[in-house]
Structure 1
Amino acid sequence: MSKAKKIQLRTDRFPELRGIDDEVEKALQEKQKNRQYKDAGKRVHGSRKEQAMYSKLISSSDLQSIEQDEATAIELVKKDKVFPKVDPQLEKENGTDSGCAFLKVKLRQAFPATPYANTKLAREQYVKMAEAFNTVFNEAVTIEDLKKLLSIATDGQIIPKTDFGMLFGKQLRNLVFVLYGYGNGVGAAKQTLIEARRYSGISKERALPHYNNLKAYYDRIIERQQHCIDSAKQIISEADMRQHRTNDLTFRGGMLSSVRTVEQYVQYVTQVCTRFIGDHQKEFNQKKEEFPNKEFEPDWSWANIKKTAATQSSSKPKMEAVPLAYIKRTGGLLIEEADEKTVIEKLHFKSLTLGNYVKDNEAQEHIRHFVAAIVDLCEVLDINLSINENLAIAFGAFGRGGKAMATYYPTRQLINLTKRNGDGSVAHEWGHFFDHYLNGFALTKPALRSEQYLDLLMDKFGSRRKYLTSSRSSMSGDYFISEMEYNLKNHIPESPLLKSMAGMVAMLRFGYYHIEGTMVSYHQDDIKGKKPTDSFLYYHSKLQGSYWSNIAEMFARSFECYVADKLKEQGRVNNYLVSGSLFGFPVYPQGKERECINKCFDHLIASMKSHLSIKSFAPFTTQRADEYIDINQEGTVNKGVIIGKERKLKLAKIRAKAIIIKQKQALATGSE
């Protein structure tokens, strides 16, 4: 078995870093020393086991070490890694004011989850700002103590003096500024501060001046209304009435224009002002019971509120991939044995990483089925296995919890499969890799080519974009086609590959088939919620939520269908590669759209091979085999058989005979 290669550190340029990554590398290898299957290839940073090691070693002073690998820096420099959560119970025990603790929670929530950009400078500023905020938090016990945050945000030591809102968001800026009395017109921030002061509580002595000011204010208003009534009752002529309207009347409009006599005027003014007096008295009685106009005890109830998701009935069909009950592969090249060396040398992957809890027998099964899946994928697409040279694979090493059984990480160019023996999602995740491959493995936001091109195409519609997104307006089919043809011709670089990719995006999102210049999904029928320029794939995906309607996810799901159809054309199956268990749901391409999307993939892959000089698939054996593996509920193998072509017919007859015998036995048991 191959051994994990040790990474050569750049300690010649950073002598102060000697020992940090060595310690991590040593700890990782120590955990695998007694295992048959080990990590192989260049270590891909960021796995759960590596981050567990780093969690014990990294401090803010270790930024230079992390920055040796940009992807590691992007993944590690996040709020939860650099800005500890506020513990209300601990704050209370330390004597912190309830309102101050409440504001700490709100300020941390407003602190952005990641740096404003994927650059070294942005990450450095982000970490330093988080540390400075946390230092103030550790010392603050009252709301007044938090005012120090303003000087941190604006003193120019961490970021330029005027850039705080731009780099860390308006929400955080408004909260910091309102603490110091600035931005009183910012409603949400001001309301948060009022809530915080309410939670801090107020003594009777401190509340009394607030009550007196409130009472004096309403007394003046009520006194003015009463004066208006009293002076109106002294009117005896129209001249007096005109003078009263000029000097004493407290309101305008209403029915004054229809008043003709002195009696009507006095009656109307008395009625309106009496109503105003009653309203103001009611308002005063309400506000005098509110903070800060009466005594309030400190209140920590906010710390005990647990938000629960509202359970509402939904008409959405439940779509959730389940682990495979069996693994079936037919017609593929014979894979007798496979190990980590096979993945690196034959499939050309840059690395293989195994999670700490992946046992040797699980690793063996994972690797063998994965090798078969990638071989089948590249064979049916007729692309050389060397296309995988920038791709890494991990089994149970990078997952962060949740329901996803597989994930592609653009920052790592890595596919992670969970510990269960796959759920048929290899094609889906490889589709994300393919999408990223076509964008040159960029670490930008967004990183995938499909996302970039959808943004570009939408932007090029300019002010007419509203016709593609608004439910109240739409474009005619002919006008949309002319606009899309113009955008594809003039705003996409002159490259068959990029033109094909943009055309694929137009097909997935709008149902525009660029190869023929037609609208596959345009309709005039009344389909609730579907715009004429929406593809049916996008329409049904949007009904399920933003994850499903994301263009990168539609690309990957469509790629699944394409691979499954390619296998079917050749009479082959590989459900570890693509299970197809959810293909019946319309969030996967259906009918005419699926046919056109498949042709777009044909066009895209042909363009890629030509433009990037990708060679065709080179088979490494002439032998083929069928395979069936039964998996139990724990995810381990019960039994399996690999069938060569020469034994296939004989075993099929044996199975058929066994089935007939079981049927006869069942009938006999039933007759008894």
Structure 2
Amino acid sequence: MFRKFEIVSTPNAAARGRADMFWKKNNKFLKAFKKFRKPERKLPGVFENARILDQQGLLKYFSLAGFEYGSWIDNNTRFEFLYGCVVSLLDLRDLTGIKSLGFGLYTIAFGARGKGGRGSAAAHFEPRRHAINLTKEYGLEALAHEYGHLLDHFFGCYIDQDKLSQYLSLGKLNGKISLRVNGLRKGTLRYLMQEVIKAIVFDSKGNVTPYYTRLTKEAKSEYFTASTELFARAFEQWVTYQLKKKGVVNKFLSQPKYEHWMYLSPAHFKKVSPKINALIKAMAVKAK
């Protein structure tokens, strides 16, 4: 819950205490935190006064079900995380054309779910709980990747349904196995998603791409060749590419979290990108 000038946790920040005085003194978040986006983005309208971020207002603005914070996240860190989310969600709205980013169903959690520590995932998407979780230490670069999973899940589960999977991409199925020759009507979201996966797995002549071959040989787990992961990494690259075209770097939203060979090469991405453009455009139309 938010109160004027501060983010209130449990226990509540004491009146005239250090946290209370911090928010009254600082009109905006810590200057060091501004560096995550270049150039700095000015918040529109209701967000102009960044020291007063009304959580309920933000949830309504982005159609999110909630923000969650772990027990060990202090007030300052919560505020910085929330500000980073707001700026990044605004970027996502611009890039995708989808205004109701959370579709009234999804939550973004920070250090609130799962287990931390070395070897743990930087972030993960929970379809059953409709939640994106970003870890405290490593999650502040993974929002685009996890939002790719959210899009895959929402449009597969609620818009273009199929008994095979709640994901448009068919989820954890191996990328090659997930491709269906028949049964998909051209122009549907599932068809457009399959076009993305197909462009990742096969070249124009029908041969398996060097990228997918490399994944199957070098990746330590089949997790990395699952169709939903192929799409999420490609979407992550798409976000970074679209921001770059605008002269923007947003490290909170998207920053490579895997080794470089796990991403599409520039030449390969150039062939996949139009397929993603078509899919996102169709999603934006369905989301209206």
State the TM bucket, normalised to the shorter chain: 0.7 to 0.9
Deviations 1:505-562 (A, max 9, x none): 2112223xxxxxx33xx6xxxxxxxxxx322332222212222222211211111110
CA drift of 1:574 comes to: 0.7
1:440 aligns with 2:133: no
User: d(CA) in 2 for partners of 1:455 and 1:328?
Assistant: 35
Other structure's SS at 1:450 match: coil
| Distance change (3 Å), C-alpha of 1:391 and 1:420 | same
User: d(CA) in 2 for partners of 1:547 and 1:384?
Assistant: 31
- Structure 2 contact 111–133 (Cα < 8 Å) conserved: yes
2:12 maps to 35
1:413 maps to 130
User: d(CA) in 1 for partners of 2:243 and 2:137?
Assistant: 24
Other structure's SS at 2:39 match: strand
Other structure's SS at 2:37 match: strand
Equivalent position to 2:115, from 387, 394, 400: 400
Other structure's SS at 1:393 match: strand
2:23 maps to none
1:497 maps to 189
Deviations 1:350-381 (A, max 9, x none): 11211111111111111110111111111122
Equivalent position to 1:576, from 239, 252, 257: 252
1:600 aligns with 2:275: yes
User: d(CA) in 2 for partners of 1:444 and 1:329?
Assistant: 43
Instruction: Give runs of aligned pairs for residues 355-434 of structure 1, distance below 5 A.
Output: 355-401=70-116, 402-420=119-137, 422-434=139-151
1:332 maps to 41
User: d(CA) in 1 for partners of 2:85 and 2:280?
Assistant: 22
- How many equivalent pairs are there? 253
CA drift of 1:444 comes to: 8.0
Instruction: Give runs of aligned pairs for residues 144-159 of structure 1, distance below 5 A.
Output: none
| Distance change (3 Å), C-alpha of 1:333 and 1:535 | farther
Instruction: Give runs of aligned pairs for residues 92-131 of structure 1, distance below 5 A.
Output: none
User: d(CA) in 2 for partners of 1:443 and 1:404?
Assistant: 29
1:550 aligns with 2:265: no
Give unpaired runs (5+ residues) of structure 2. 14-32
User: d(CA) in 2 for partners of 1:393 and 1:427?
Assistant: 12
- Structure 2 contact 172–228 (Cα < 8 Å) conserved: no
**Residue identity in the other structure for 1:504:** V
**Residue identity in the other structure for 1:537:** Y
User: d(CA) in 1 for partners of 2:122 and 2:171?
Assistant: 26
CA RMSD of aligned residues (A): 3.2
Identity of aligned residues (%): 24
Deviations 1:546-605 (A, max 9, x none): 2222221121111111000000111111110002365x7121011322012111110101
Instruction: Give runs of aligned pairs for residues 118-517 of structure 1, distance below 5 A.
Output: 327-330=36-39, 332-334=41-43, 336-337=49-50, 338-401=53-116, 402-420=119-137, 422-440=139-157, 447-451=166-170, 458=177, 487=181, 490-511=182-203
1:537 maps to 211
**Residue identity in the other structure for 1:607:** A
| Distance change (3 Å), C-alpha of 1:406 and 1:342 | farther
Other structure's SS at 1:451 match: coil
Give unpaired runs (5+ residues) of structure 1. 4-30, 37-323, 461-483, 512-517, 523-532, 616-672
More helix by share: 1
- Structure 1 contact 510–534 (Cα < 8 Å) conserved: yes
* Structure of higher CA gyration radius: 1
User: d(CA) in 1 for partners of 2:96 and 2:261?
Assistant: 25
TM-score, L = length of structure 2? 0.76
Following TM superposition, the consecutive aligned residue runs of length 4 or more in structure 1 with deviations greater than 6 angstroms are 442-445
User: d(CA) in 2 for partners of 1:444 and 1:400?
Assistant: 32
| Distance change (3 Å), C-alpha of 1:599 and 1:495 | closer
1:590 maps to 265
**Residue identity in the other structure for 2:36:** I
| Distance change (3 Å), C-alpha of 1:588 and 1:433 | same
2:236 maps to 560
**Residue identity in the other structure for 1:534:** V
- Structure 2 contact 215–262 (Cα < 8 Å) conserved: yes
- Structure 2 contact 169–190 (Cα < 8 Å) conserved: no
TM-score, L = length of structure 1? 0.35
| Distance change (3 Å), C-alpha of 1:431 and 1:348 | same
User: d(CA) in 2 for partners of 1:329 and 1:373?
Assistant: 12
Deviations 1:259-297 (A, max 9, x none): xxxxxxxxxxxxxxxxxxxxxxxxxxxxxxxxxxxxxxx
CA drift of 1:34 comes to: 2.4
- Structure 1 contact 329–572 (Cα < 8 Å) conserved: yes
